[in-house]
Every structure is written in structure tokens, then in C-alpha cells.
Amino acid sequence: MKRFGWVIALLIALSMASWAMAQETQISIKEGWNLLSSPYSFQVSDKFGDPQKFTSVWKWTFEASPGGQWAVYLPGKGDGGADYASSKNFILLKEIAPGEGFWVKSSVANSISFSGTAPSNTDLTLKPGWNLLGLKTQSPVSVEQKFGDASKFASIWKWDTSVPQGKWAVYLPGKDTATYANSKNFSVLNTIEPNEGFWVNLISKENVQVSFVETPPLVGKVVEAGSKGEKSSYIPLAGVKVLVDNKDAGITDSQGKFQYYGSYGSEVTVTAYLKGYFLYENKVDTSKEIYIFLQKQDPNKTELQSTEQSEQSQLSKGVLFPQKPTPKIIKSSDEKASMSVLNMKLLKDTTVSLTPFAEAKTIPGIENISQLNLGNDITIIAGAKVDMADSLGNPTNNDKAGFEGMVSVRINKILGKYSLDQVDTLVQNKQADLKLIAKEKSGWYLVGDGEIKTEDNVKWLVNKTGFNMLKLHTFVFALIPMTQGKKGTISGKVIDSKTKNPIPGVYVGTDSVYGEAITDKEGKYSISISSTDIEFLESNKISIIGVYAWEENHFFYYKSVNLSDVKAGTNLDIALEPFEEVLRVKGIVKDSSNGKPISDAFV
């Protein structure tokens, strides 16, 4: 087995060496007209000289005319079309370089291989007027990001051969492209792929250089959390719709992965949506791999009727005077969380679900709560996610639904190892404050004080009287210590046990109290444990904290560390053992009694 492994490694090394010397790309050509480009220079007659396959090849060039002219090659002519070109004031097409787009008319469907050395400069220089271009890179680009300046660009076009007979795809900077495209039966042009040709109409009077410096794609993974005994199963979620800064990043694959090839800064807003799960929307750091934990949405749905319709209904029944306001109650299916709404105004019928958080990691943007400056040691002990949908089932929000009201909350589903009795003791002994915090589109905000109330011998976390939300917002309750104790830290490096190389993008967390980190490019991580959590562990005579590390190509890691070491600041280097072989198994789970497929089965 070891000898076989060395053979494979040698073959890979040899293939990588040959790739470095001469890269190759394959381009599919359909029957009819094709608008293409190549990242490598080539002689047109070498690639398109077969008259049985190709009728003509064209490019738009400025080499002999400042205003631009056609260059043409006709493989069926003995002179390659030189006489024809001269008669039409064209020039003979001999060579096509990287960054140049070209038309090919093919009599049959086929494919062509291009090889060579990729250009070091991937920028494109555009001249005033029409430019026929191609990418020099091997990554797709967003048309809006590269050509969205309406003061420079009038329109961008490509010929879409993904549909029979082909049709134009267009983007109009600063204009309603969709309306125009639909009126002409065109497509809306969003992305240009490698090996595609495209037209750009430059309205600037000067040459414009467009930079195409390749940045690595933004990589992320979406997994299910809080699904098995309210602990994370880490099952990858396929088919999740992902947006980056409101731009389409596609859907996750079978491994829950997505990649975004557009431009991005140090921080982006990522939105992830899968029916039946939380709607995730959060700002994330792009220097690290992105992990998104989605929790299943509570199945209980509360329908809120438009108050305008309700008022009209009352008038039709002869009710002339305002009635005593009846609170609208929104509950989770386990009744461990609820919202009570008074004086509600609602413009559109809306369905609301309320899902108690199963784990702190499923709270979108939990790390940003520190920006409220409530203290250096905030511990989130409970909370619930609010999801709203319109009458068609599409995600909506307070503003779109026209919601206003006086919202009170209560919850008794506690995160981590705390109990409500322990929280009550901390608050009563003035060791910690209890705060209600909520999340709107722009971020977290402080609602006010929370308290613990007992109803029918059951304790609840509730907002204090006078501290109500005015919208249906996701909320959490936080403990803030009155005195700042000493935090604990766990830090170290994660490496592959075989290669000893650092592993970036590893999720490292703790299971006794909340703490998480993702390893950086050097495999380093650091987790901070709040002084409140440390005091809680000590008061309950818990002397260890569990640390785990998870990465899809390595075995799960778990180790217990002493609380005394965490308080002093412990270093924990982690060596993950790689999988020797990965087997993928797929199939259908059926009910043995009737043969029907079973959804949500745990395999």
C-alpha cells in the first residue's frame, strides 16, 4: 500500500511539472455561430484550417484602422480569404492573442484544444467605441463589477449558445437591463466565463484599462447544526442558495460548499437560504474560510392578518368602536419561546416562525454583539430566531410587511450548561446583569433589562416592563458580569498528522461553554472563555473543558483540558489524522412496510 502511494505521488508530481510547462484548455464549439476567446496565442490556420468543420473566423481589430475593422479567415479558400478581405476593406486574420474575442462559424459541433503559457498581465485595454474581447484569466468575472460604470460603458454583450440557435445576453450599466432584455427576448448578462468572447461599447473618449487581477475565490461551507439531540451533526447541506453582498454565489454542492468568484473586500455580507432552515444573513471576515451553521426552522407557523383587512372586516360587521386590544401570541412548537404583540399594525398578511437557538454557533453575527460595548465578557444564555414570510411563502421583513407593535418576549430554553436557577442566583447576588439584545438589519441593538419571572412554577427569561421591542426581531438574553474577572484562553496550531503542514479553515470549538475559532492560513487559532463562564464552571465544580476540531478531510478530534490551565492561558496544538480513503455512499431510505421514501432519516 505504501509503495502504491509513492507511485501515485510520483505521477502527480510529474503531471504537475508538465502542467507548469504547458497549460491546456479545451473549448467546445457548437454548430453555427460561436463567440469565443483563448487565454493563449495561436495561429488561426492551425486551429481552424479544416474547411469540413469551419466556414469562417472573424475578429474586430484596431491594428490597421484607428476606428476598428474586421479581420477574416476563410479556411475553404486557397489564400485563406485574402482576396475576399481586400475586396471588402477587411484584413486577413492570421493570429489571435489572449484578451481578443473572435467569431467562429462551424458547420459541425466539435471541440478545439489550446495550449501555451498564460499571460502574466491579465488587464484589458479598451478603445473608444466597440471592443471585441476575451478574458485572459481562468476565473469567471462579474459583469456588473467590472463594467458597471455607466460613465464609461454603454453596453456589454455576449452570444449565449446554451440555448438552441443561440441568443444575445446583454448588460446595460445604470439602466433597467431586465426590462430591456425581456422586451427583445434577450438574456440578462451577469457573468463572463473563461473562453467566452464578449463585446463592450466604450463611451469614454479615452482608452480605459480594466484590471483582472485574479483573487482566490471566496470559499465557504454550510452545515446543519442543532439537529441531533440538539447537538451539531455537521451534516453538509446541499442546495443552499448563497449570496455575497447581494450577488449570486450559486448553490452549495453535495458537500455543502460554495465558491464566489467576484471581487470582495476584507468583509462581506453573506446570505444563505434553504427552505425549512433559518435565513442566514451576516457580515463575515474574508481572511478565513466561512462556516455557516443552519438550524432547522421551527415548524410552528403563526399567521398574522393585515390589520387593514381586519378593520374593514369589523366595519362590515357593524363594529363602530375600537375593541380592547387582544395580544397576538407567536410561539415555538415546544412552547419554550414566545412573543406577545400589542397594538399591532400590519400592512400585509405575514407568517412568522419563532425558533429557540439550539446552540450559540447558530446565532448569526453573535461575534458582533461585542460592538455594543456592554462589557468585555458577555455570555449569551438564550435566544430565538424570527423568520417572516409573505403570503406566497417568500422571505420578508418588518419593513416590507409594514409591521409595528409592542413586542414582549419570554424564553426558558437555555444554551450551554447554565440553568435558570443558576442565572437567577447570579442576578440576585448582583454578580451579573441580564440584558435583552435584538438584531435588526443593520446589526445588534440593546433593548434593555431582562429579568426572571416564575409563572405556574416555571421560570422564564422575560423583558422587564417598559423594555419592549417595536419590531419582530431575532433576540438573545445576555449575562454581563458586574465585576470583570479573568478570562481564559485556549490557543494553538492545527496541523496534518502525516504531512505536518498547517491546516487552514478548521473549526475549533468548546462543548462545556461557548467558544469557537477558525484556523487561519498558518493553522493558528485562539479561543477566549469569558470570566462568567469560568465562574460558572468553578461554582458547579466542573474542572475540565472539552475542545474539539472538525475538518471534512480529517478525523474528528476531541480532548479535555483542565480549567486551571485555561485560566492561565493554555496552548493546545492539534494534529488531525487524515482520511486514507474516502468512500461516498448514496441511496434511498425507504419504509420497509410500504416501500415509500423517508425524508430526514439519519444515516
Asked if residue 131 and residue 264 are part of one domain, the reply reads no
pLDDT digits over 271-312, tens only?
A: 999 988 988 888 888 887 888 989 998 999 999 999 876 555
> Is pLDDT of 380 > 70?
yes
pLDDT tens-digit readout, 126-155: 999 999 999 998 888 889 889 999 999 999
Q: Are residues 37 and 166 in the same domain?
A: yes
Instruction: Give the structural domain span for 263.
Output: 218-294
Percentage of the chain beyond pLDDT 90 is 54
Residue where a domain terminates, one of 191, 210, 229: 210
Claim to verify: residue 167 and residue 118 sit in the same structural domain: yes
Dump pLDDT digits (tens) for 11-61.
333 333 333 345 788 899 999 999 999 999 999 999 999 999 999 999 999
Q: CA angle, 149 as apex, 261 and 121 as ends, to 5°?
A: 50
- Give residue 117's pLDDT: 85
Residue 264 lies in a domain: yes
Lowest pLDDT segment from 153-157, 342-346, 475-479, 587-591: 587-591
- Residue 2: per-residue pLDDT: 38
Q: Are residues 561 and 459 in the same domain?
A: no
Dump pLDDT digits (tens) for 415-460.
Answer: 877 788 888 888 888 888 999 999 998 889 999 999 999 988 999 9
> Which residue did the predictor score with more confidence, 598 or 175?
175
Cell numbers for 321: 368602536
- The strand order across the sheet containing 280-285 reads 247-251, 241-244, 267-273, 280-285
Contacts of residue 200, Cβ cutoff 8 Å, sequence gap at least 6: 126, 130, 131, 133, 147, 153, 155, 156, 157
- Residues 37 and 164 occupy one common structural domain: yes
Q: Are 315 and 334 part of one and the same domain?
A: yes
Residue 180 sits in the same domain as residue 34: yes
Task: Answer yes or no: is 596 within a domain.
Answer: no
For cell 455576449, the residue is 158
Domain count, the chain: 4
Q: What number of other Cβ atoms are within 10 A of residue 469's Cβ?
A: 22
Quick one: 234 and 333 in the same domain? Answer: no
CA atoms within 13 A on the CB side of 267: 5
Q: Would you state the pLDDT for residue 309? A: 64
State whether 48 and 118 are in the same domain: yes
Instruction: Express each pLDDT in 528-539 by its tens digit.
Output: 888 878 877 887
Whether 119 has a pLDDT exceeding 80, the answer reads yes
Does 9 map to a domain? no
Distances in Å between the alpha carbon of 141 and those of 160, 264, 467, 508, 549?
16, 12, 48, 33, 35
Question: How much is the pLDDT for 233?
Answer: 63
Nearest residue to 350 (alpha-carbon basis) of 285, 398, 316, 383? 398
> Which residues, in sequence order, are CB contacts of 579 under 8 Å at separation 6+?
553, 554, 555
Residue 461 domain-assigned (yes or no): yes
Q: What is the pLDDT of residues 334-358, one digit of tens each?
A: 999 999 999 999 999 999 999 999 8
In a domain, 199, yes or no: yes
Of 427, 447, 481, the residue that ends a domain is 481
Q: What is the pLDDT of residue 214?
A: 64
**Is residue 119, in this structure, part of any structural domain at all?**
yes
247-263 tens-digit pLDDT: 888 899 988 999 887 77
Rounded mean pLDDT of the chain? 86
Instruction: Say whether pLDDT at 556 is over 80.
Output: yes
CATH number at residue 237: 2.60.40.1120
- The cell for 114 is 489550446
Looking at the structure, do residues 414 and 433 belong to the same domain, yes or no? Answer: yes
155 and 256 inside one domain: no
Averaged over 361-375, what is the pLDDT?
Answer: 85
Q: Which of 435, 464, 481 is the last residue of a domain?
A: 481
What sections of 412-543 are H helices per DSSP? 420-428, 531-539
- Provide the phi-psi class of 28: left if phi over 0, else alpha when psi is between -120 and 50, else beta: beta
Contact 565, 587 (CB under 8 A): no
3-state secondary structure string across 47-108: HHCCCCCEEEEEEEECCCCCCCEEEEECCCCCCCCHHHHHHCCCEECCEECCCEEEEEEECC
In this structure, is residue 602 part of a structural domain?
no
C-alpha cell of residue 539: 461554582
Q: What's the confidence (pLDDT) of residue 266?
A: 82
Q: pLDDT grade, residue 234 (50/70/90)?
A: confident
Residue range 177-217, pLDDT digits in tens = 999 999 999 999 999 999 999 999 999 999 999 988 766 78
Q: Answer yes or no: is pLDDT of 235 > 60.
A: yes
Q: Kindly state whether residues 146 and 238 are assigned to the same domain.
A: no
The answer as to whether 27 is a domain residue is yes
